[in-house]
Amino acid sequence: MRDDNAKTSADTRSRILDAAEVLFMEHGFDGTSMRMITGSAGVNLAAVNYHFGTKELLIQEVFRRRLTDLNNARLVVLDQMEAEAGGAPLKPSRIVDAFFGTALRMAADVEGGGHTFMCLLGRTYTEPNEFVRKFLAEEYAECVERFLSALYRALPEVERKEILWRFHFMMGAMSYAIAGTDALQLVTGKFDDEHPSRLAPRLMSFLLGGLRAPLADFGSNP
Amino acid sequence: MRDDNAKTSADTRSRILDAAEVLFMEHGFDGTSMRMITGSAGVNLAAVNYHFGTKELLIQEVFRRRLTDLNNARLVVLDQMEAEAGGAPLKPSRIVDAFFGTALRMAADVEGGGHTFMCLLGRTYTEPNEFVRKFLAEEYAECVERFLSALYRALPEVERKEILWRFHFMMGAMSYAIAGTDALQLVTGKFDDEHPSRLAPRLMSFLLGGLRAPLADFGSNP
DNA sequence: GTCTATATAGAGATAGAC
DNA sequence: GTCTATCTCTATATAGAC
């Protein structure tokens, strides 16, 4: 940092994105006004519209800049594992780690903002706002398809629909584990003050237990 | 229903609550205006303030009227099981079913509005709005404490902190399973059109698998 | 690129007639 | 209890000077 008051023009964009990310996480999209964002970022109100056009486009850019990296990181790990395996199916635990572990490692990065972003992302999966959900779905499509395919091959004896459901359940458990910890904290009287990096091993063993659980009997009573 | 246009004064209150429940679920709290609610309920704009005071108090009442029943139903089942057991610890699977199964049965009630409410509730656990989170925490406190105590006694060999985390993970998986199904649906191309009642057995086996998963090794690297 | 000033729309809430 | 009309505040967005 060269000077407290030096706001280079290139910086303005990033300052807005950083401020928006935190405020969206704390107050939601509708609960965060442009004035809050520009005030927190220390830039002029008109700067948001100049750099991003509209508030909706700003929201998209907040997600895009981190989500691209996250999903690329996931795919890099998967590519590498599949190349090493040379056509043989992978171990389910390794697939789960490549997808969920990578996200948890991002969530453990408190200082770089990864934690803030993963909290925001977790909340946004169930976001009412339709354009956000659609945007997320598109950003995720390729990556999710790749991981589901890997799981299908890793667990050929399990019905595909069942794997799909369990992937969904795992997403839910992870999102809450990251975004919703505050909530239960209020109820039960805290998880002490554990650093987010402590979460990963606990969650991973829970996810794998759920994925490997014996199948229920669905045929009985419709 | 006696007449399409007959709005008895006692009805007005319920009509507002029913309309608000659906709209809050579809558009969130900030995304739902008083005008949307009164328009959908077919009542006058001023009626909300007359019957509930403020929008915040309306939100609280939407939750209170169903949450009281849900948590009472959970406690009734737990009380009965504990009475039958006469001091002996319960099976973890039965405790989980009393808490999560009861919620899933409410979520399977599409026509009576239980499904709508459970979607809304699932979203709200990670709601940014602080007063809503605090209100939920208070409404849940007693019930969660009772179920955690039951689990502590059922699993004396497992560290209490670990049980607390896994309860949290189960809450997350359930909330997403109910509220977030739309999201993954967009990504992966649908869960067909399964009725919500089909969800319960799938989720319950996942939750129990997670709860029983072997513990990870936490001591190694801090 | 950055700023001030403002246009326009919509929000929650209420006063007072009925 | 219900309605109309309206107050007040705040939101997003933009036009135009610098």
Q: What's the CATH number of domain B63-211, 1.10.357.10, 3.30.70.270, 1.10.3720.10, 3.90.79.10?
A: 1.10.357.10
Q: Which pLDDT value is given to residue A28?
A: 95
Give the closest nucleotide to B51 (alpha carbon vs C1').
Answer: D1
- Domain boundaries, given as residue ranges, for chain A: 9-53, 56-211
Q: Which pLDDT value is given to residue B189?
A: 59
Q: Which pLDDT value is given to residue A126?
A: 83
Q: Which pLDDT value is given to residue A189?
A: 58
According to DSSP, residue A197 is labeled: G
For residue A218, pLDDT beyond 90: no
Q: What is the pLDDT of residues A156-172, one digit of tens each?
A: 999 999 999 999 999 99
Q: Which pLDDT value is given to residue B7?
A: 58
For A193, the 3-state DSSP assignment is strand
For chain A, give the percent of residues with pLDDT over 70.
Answer: 89
Distance CA A63, CA A67 (A): 6
Q: Is the CATH code 1.10.10.60 the one for domain A9-53?
A: yes
For residue A75, pLDDT beyond 60: yes
Give the closest nucleotide to B10 (alpha carbon vs C1').
Answer: D1
Q: Which pLDDT value is given to residue B3?
A: 41
A contacts of B101 (beta carbons < 8 Å):
none
Distance CA A11, CA B130 (A): 32
For residue A3, pLDDT beyond 60: no
Q: Which residues have C-beta within 8 Å of that of residue A143, sequence separation ≥ 6?
A: A71, A74, A75
Distance CA B21, CA B17 (A): 6
Distance CA A161, CA A146 (A): 16
For residue A2, pLDDT beyond 60: no
Q: Which pLDDT value is given to residue A221?
A: 44
Please report where in the chains the tokens 């706001």 appear, as a residue. A7
For residue A217, pLDDT beyond 80: no
Q: Which pLDDT value is given to residue A222?
A: 40
> In CATH, what number does B7-53 get?
1.10.10.60
A193: β partners: A191
Segments in chain B below pLDDT 70: 1-7, 182-193, 217-222
Residues A25-38 as b/e (b if ≥16 CB within 10 A, e otherwise) read: bebbbbbbebebbb
Q: Which residues have C-beta within 8 Å of that of residue B214, sequence separation ≥ 6?
A: A205, A209
Cα distances (Å, whole numbers) of residue B168 to A180, B23, B101, B148, B165: 9, 27, 16, 11, 5
Q: Which amino acid is at A12?
A: T
Q: Which pLDDT value is given to residue B35?
A: 98
Q: Which pLDDT value is given to residue A20?
A: 98
Q: What is the DSSP string of A102-119?
A: HHHHHHT-TTTTHHHHHH
Q: Which pLDDT value is given to residue A67?
A: 97
Radius of gyration of chain B (CA): 20
Q: Which residue is nearest to nucleotide C10 (CA to C1')?
A: B33
Nearest to A55 by CA among A15, A90, A20, A8: A20
Distance CA A127, CA A107 (A): 19
Contact (CB<8Å) B202/A128: no
Determine whether the distance from the CB of B45 to the nearest atom of strand C is below 7 Å.
Answer: yes
Tokens for B31, please give them.
């995304």
Tokens for B113, please give them.
């509005």
Q: Which pLDDT value is given to residue B220?
A: 45
Q: Which pLDDT value is given to residue B1?
A: 41
B218 touches A192 (CB < 8 A): no
Q: What's the CATH number of domain A56-211, 1.25.40.10, 1.10.357.10, 3.40.640.10, 3.40.50.1970?
A: 1.10.357.10
Distance CA B2, CA B11 (A): 12
Contact (CB<8Å) A165/B26: no
A76: β partners: none
Provide the mean pLDDT of chain A.
89
Q: How far is the CA of B45 from the C1' of D5 (A)?
A: 12
Distance CA B70, CA B77 (A): 11
Chain A's closest residue to B221, CA to CA, is: A198
Categorize the per-residue pLDDT at A191 as very low, low, confident or very high, splitting at 50, 70 and 90: low
